[in-house]
Amino acid sequence: MKWKLDIRKEIKVAVALLAISFLIAFSSRKQDGIVCKDIVIDLENIQENHFLDEADVLKLVEGSGQKIIGTSLDYINLKSIETKLKYDKHILDAELFGDLKGNLIVSVELRRPIARIVRENAPDAYIAEDGVIMPVSEKYSSRVVLISGGFTNQLIESEDLTKLEEGKQLLDMIEFISDDKFWKAQVAQIDINSQGKITILPQITGQRVEFGKAEGYEAKFKKLMIFYKEILPQRGWTRYERVNLEYDGQIIAE
- 4 in any annotated domain: no
- Predicted local distance difference test score (pLDDT) of residue 126: 95
CA R_g for the chain: 27
The 3 state secondary structure assigned to the chain is CHHHHHHHHHHHHHHHHHHHHHHHHHHHHHHCCCECCEEEEEEECCCCCCCCCHHHHHHHHHCCCCCCCCCEHHHCCHHHHHHHHHHCCCEEEEEEEECCCCEEEEEEEECCEEEEECCCCCCCEEEECCCEEEECCCCCCCCCEEEECCCHHHHHHHCEHHHCHHHHHHHHHHHHHHHCHHHHHHEEEEEECCCCCEEEEECCCCCEEEEECCCCHHHHHHHHHHHHHHHHHHHCCCCCCEEECCCCCCCEEC
Please report, for the domain that includes residue 129, its CATH number.
3.40.50.11690
- Predicted local distance difference test score (pLDDT) of residue 152: 93
Q: What's the total number of domains in the chain?
A: 2
- Predicted local distance difference test score (pLDDT) of residue 28: 46
- Predicted local distance difference test score (pLDDT) of residue 12: 53
- Same domain, yes or no: 122 and 241: yes
Residue 116's nearest CA partner among 207, 60, 49 is 49
- Same domain, yes or no: 142 and 203: yes
- Predicted local distance difference test score (pLDDT) of residue 122: 87
- 32 in any annotated domain: no
- 19 in any annotated domain: no
Q: Of 110, 143, 165, at which residue does a domain stop?
A: 110
- Domain containing 124 equals 113-253
- 79 in any annotated domain: yes
- 20 in any annotated domain: no
- 74 in any annotated domain: yes
- Same domain, yes or no: 142 and 71: no
- Same domain, yes or no: 137 and 248: yes
- Same domain, yes or no: 69 and 156: no
Tell me how many degrees the CA angle 250-204-235 measures, rounded to the nearest 5: 50
Distances (CA, A) of 185 to 52, 144, 149, 244: 27, 10, 21, 20
- 120 in any annotated domain: yes
28-56 pLDDT per residue, tens: 444 457 888 999 999 886 566 778 889 99
- Same domain, yes or no: 102 and 144: no
In sequence order, the 6+-apart residues with CB closer than 8 A to the CB of 172 are 214, 217
Written as tens digits, the pLDDT of the chain (254 aa) is 544 445 555 545 444 554 455 444 444 444 457 888 999 999 886 566 778 889 999 999 999 889 999 988 888 999 999 999 999 999 999 999 988 888 999 999 999 999 999 998 889 999 999 999 999 988 888 889 999 999 999 999 999 999 999 999 999 999 999 999 999 999 999 999 999 999 999 988 778 899 999 999 999 999 999 888 888 888 777 777 888 888 887 888 88
Instruction: Please state the pTM of the whole predicted model.
Output: 0.80
- 71 in any annotated domain: yes
- Predicted local distance difference test score (pLDDT) of residue 37: 92
